[in-house]
Amino acid sequence: MTSNENGTEYVSGHEIKLTLLLTPEQAAGMQAWSDSIPTLYMLDICVANVTKLSQAALDANARKAALVERLRHLDKPQNSFSYLLALIEKASGPKAGLTDEELEAQILHDVTKMRKFFVHAKILEADEFLLGFARVLRHEPPELARDAYLEFLRRASTTVAFCVVSERG
pLDDT in tens, 93-109: 766 578 889 999 999 99
In a domain, 20, yes or no: no
Specify which of 52-61, 88-97, 131-140 reaches the highest per-range mean pLDDT.
52-61
Q: 104 lies in which domain range? A: 45-138
In a domain, 148, yes or no: no
Determine contact, residues 92/136, Cβ cutoff 8 Å. no
Sheet holding 122-123, edge to edge: 40-42, 80-82, 122-123
Q: What is the mean pLDDT of residues 70-84?
A: 95
E strands in the chain: 40-42, 80-82, 122-123
CA distance 7 to 152: 35
In a domain, 19, yes or no: no
User: Percentage of the chain surpassing pLDDT 90?
Assistant: 50
Identify the band that residue 135 occupies on the pLDDT scale cut at 50, 70 and 90. Answer: confident
Is the torsion defined by CA of 128, 130, 132, 134 positive or negative? negative
Residue 163 has pLDDT above 50, yes or no: no
Residue 97 or 163, more confident: 97
In a domain, 10, yes or no: no
**Given this model, what pLDDT does residue 120 score?**
97
**Given this model, what pLDDT does residue 43 score?**
95
Identify the band that residue 20 occupies on the pLDDT scale cut at 50, 70 and 90. Answer: confident
CA distance 120 to 39: 13
In a domain, 166, yes or no: no
Backbone angles phi, psi at 80, to 5 degrees: -130, 155
In a domain, 88, yes or no: yes
| Domains identified in the chain, total number | 1
The partner residues of 122 in beta bridges, in order of sequence, read 80
In a domain, 118, yes or no: yes
CA distance 169 to 163: 10
In a domain, 90, yes or no: yes
